[in-house]
Chain A
């Protein structure tokens, strides 16, 4: 356990760095994923095509490929940012594709009669979606969106390798490869760090499910 106690600062900074990447990607992917989902169910054909295109591209590209494509491809076009920004953006747009599909699944569970009823009392597309369909869909999407976000938290380990560094996974790499600490305690320490994040997220999800549950 020396590897934990002797390198406490490194572990804490790695944990916070991972948490930072996860925080940005969580908020970003929920917002972006919702926008794309709205596009995919909208009555406007162009938006539907764009939404479908987005999902096809980003859901079907391996995350590592996407990260390197952004980190080394975007600068060729003359746009430059830190690898931290590139990595977080990559994780966000990748996760948003999955969020979109989970949301769309939830929207599809709301029976068409609900939307028809809303339209018949004079609500527009926006109102129908925000006042009638999405609130009902929300309950159904908590478990699948939670799944997607927990997968994202684990995927954040890949972001560290795309030049970002300083995260939990890089901390483990430094301690084993360069500083020669033995593998097992170090990898255990890293696993505990990620479990702290994912188990907390799981507990919050369970809480959200209970809050949103409706007695039928």
Chain B
């Protein structure tokens, strides 16, 4: 979705990256504090061996996506993506302290991986063919999808199917976005859809009672519900599928297989579900996911 606000966010993010880059160099001094015992587990020369030897890893995530990767002014980022990445790093023998978080805004994720600034990216990163030309994807570890958000006191709309029967309940989305196109088939009339340039305007219109609902990817909606849990809620099932993967430098098949193994283990030992319920899953109306069938590497 190309909106002025995302452009602004990207500009701010670039500025933030530039600033943090100035102060980030000193961490290298801590190299001796690694846990060398783990290195023997991995075949020499692989990415895993290198990272385990170093005892630290740089991981890209979102700093502004509540529930998935969200960072306050101080401290490490928090969210489902962060927990999953921490688990994978843990399998390399790297403690959370050894992880250096790098902000990975949507337009920069491929570049961060391609130039080696980070070893992996877990940042609400939808797998698609266009991106696969530049980076590799392990997973998917989560399938996001379009959902509907309504005011907490709304008992009429329980899913997209309820829109046709309630033509006076308008639904809002962003002009020219894929979610706006997807919802059209559920409408009683084209005018039931209200479009703005940014989702914030949709939420304002919901507060005024001018529209009853907002629709887009559940991850974006979770962010709004997270901010105002007493006013907003998600309803209904997800009705589209957007698989999120963990990005790695293209061609590193062994690293991809390692990440997939880690994901499978996380699912088996309950860490996967725990990662969800302690972060994005806290929001009302969020479905607890199961680890999706993983794609093959390479």
Cα distance, A179 to B181, chains bound together (Å): 8
When A72-B204, A166-B191, A179-B181 are in contact, do A174 and B176 touch as well, CB less than 8 Å?
yes
A178-B177 contact, Cβ under 8 Å, with A83-B194, A161-B196: yes
B209 touches A80 (CB 8 A): yes
Find out whether the CB atom of A163 lies under 8 angstroms from the CB atom of B209. Answer: no
Number of interface residues of B (CB under 8 A): 22
Instruction: Report the bound CA distance from A187 to B209 in whole Å.
Output: 34
CB distance from B166 to the nearest CB of A (A): 16
Contacts of B177 in A (CB 8 A): 177-178
Identify which of A72, A82, A174 contacts B181 (C-beta below 8 A).
Answer: A174
Write the chain B residue with the least CB distance to A172: B176
0/1 interface trace, chain B 189-200, chain A, CB 8 Å (1 if under): 011011111000
A76's partner among B172, B194, B208 (CB-CB below 8 A) is B208
Contacts of A72 in B (CB 8 A): 201, 204-205, 208
Q: Does any Cβ of B come within 8 Å of A34's Cβ? A: no
Is B180 among interface residues, defined by CB-CB distance under 8 A? Answer: yes
**CB-based nearest A residue for B194:** A163
C-alpha spacing A82/B194, complex, angstroms: 10
Given A76-B208, A80-B210, A83-B210, the answer on whether A177 and B196 have CB atoms closer than 8 Å is no
Assuming the contacts A72-B204, A72-B205, A177-B2, asked whether A163 and B180 have C-beta atoms less than 8 A apart, the reply is: no
User: How distant is B28 from chain A, measured CB to nearest CB, in Å?
Assistant: 43
A170 vs B180: C-alpha distance when bound (angstroms): 12
A75 adjacent to chain B (CB < 8 Å): yes
Q: B176 and A178: CB pair below 8 A?
A: yes
Cα–Cα, bound, A82→B177 (Å): 22
Among B2, B175, B181, B193, the residue within 8 A (CB) of A161 is B175
- Report whether A165 and B197 are in contact in the complex, using a CB–CB cutoff of 8 Å: no
Closest to B175 in A: A173
Bound complex: CA of A139 vs CA of B191, how far in Å? 41
A165 in contact with B193 (CB, 8 Å): yes
Residue of B nearest to A180 (CB): B178
Q: Known interface pairs A170-B195, A177-B1. Does A75 touch B175 (Cβ–Cβ under 8 Å)?
A: no
**Contact residue range for chain A?**
20 to 34
Distance of B175 from chain A, by nearest CB (Å): 5
Which B-chain residue is minimally distant from A178 (CB atoms)? B181
B175–A170 contact, CB under 8 A? Answer: yes
B178: chain A residues within 8 A (beta carbon): 178
Residue from the set A13, A76, A161, A178 with the largest chain B CB neighbour count within 10 Å: A178
B2, B176, B195: which contacts A163 (Cβ < 8 A)? Answer: B195
Chain B residues within 8 Å of A179, by CB: 181
Q: Tell me which residues from 61 to 112 in chain A have a Cβ below 8 Å from any Cβ of chain B.
A: 68, 71-72, 75-76, 80, 82-84
Which among B1, B194, B201, B204 is the interface contact of A165 at CB below 8 angstroms? B194
Provide the residues of chain A in CB contact with B195, threshold 8 Å: 163, 165, 170
A and B contact pairs by CB, cutoff 8 A, 24 listed: A13-B190, A71-B210, A75-B209, A80-B210, A83-B194, A84-B191, A161-B196, A163-B194, A165-B193, A165-B195, A170-B176, A170-B195, A173-B175, A173-B176, A174-B175, A174-B176, A174-B181, A176-B176, A177-B1, A177-B2, A177-B177, A178-B178, A178-B180, A179-B181
Residues of A within 8 A of B (CB): 13, 68, 71-72, 75-76, 80, 82-84, 161-163, 165-166, 170, 173-174, 176-179
